[in-house]
Amino acid sequence: MFPIVMAGFFSGWAQAWGQSIGGIALAVIGMVLIMIEIVIPGFGAAGISGGIALIAGLILGSAGSITYAMFSLLIIVALLIIFAVIVFRSALKGKLSRSPVVLNTSIEAGS
């Protein structure tokens, strides 16, 4: 019984997102802007704009169902967390640690 209910949920979720190209576009643009903010922190313009675009995309793409919106948000947050872990790991040990974006020097307290 449970797999049948889940199959119905996933088909409804995919159908709701399939009807909204604008919602998909806004959600993707929002994720990209948030990823830019993770890699290149600034004043937060990209992060705030990304958050607004992501919320607008969820509203448009969920077809009015709060359940679909929450499930979509769960997937997006999981993807952003995975991306952030990869970026932070690269900043500590990978290619990003050798780039001029990451500060490798420190200032002594007595200086």
Residue 3 pLDDT exceeds 60: no
pLDDT of residue 22: 79
pLDDT, tens only, 72-110: 788 888 888 898 888 888 777 766 666 666 666 667 776
Predicted confidence band at 6 (pLDDT cuts at 50, 70, 90)? low
pLDDT of residue 110: 65
CA–CA dist 86, 35 (Å, integer): 11
Give tens-digit pLDDT for 23-77: 788 888 988 898 888 888 777 888 899 889 988 888 887 776 777 778 878 888 8
CB of 58 within 8 A of CB of 52? no
Closest CA to 25 of 61, 78, 79: 61
Class of residue 12 by CB neighbours under 10 A (exposed 0-12, middle 13-18, buried 19+): middle
What's the token pair of residue 73? 């948000």
- 63 Rama class: left (phi>0) / alpha (psi -120 to 50) / beta: left
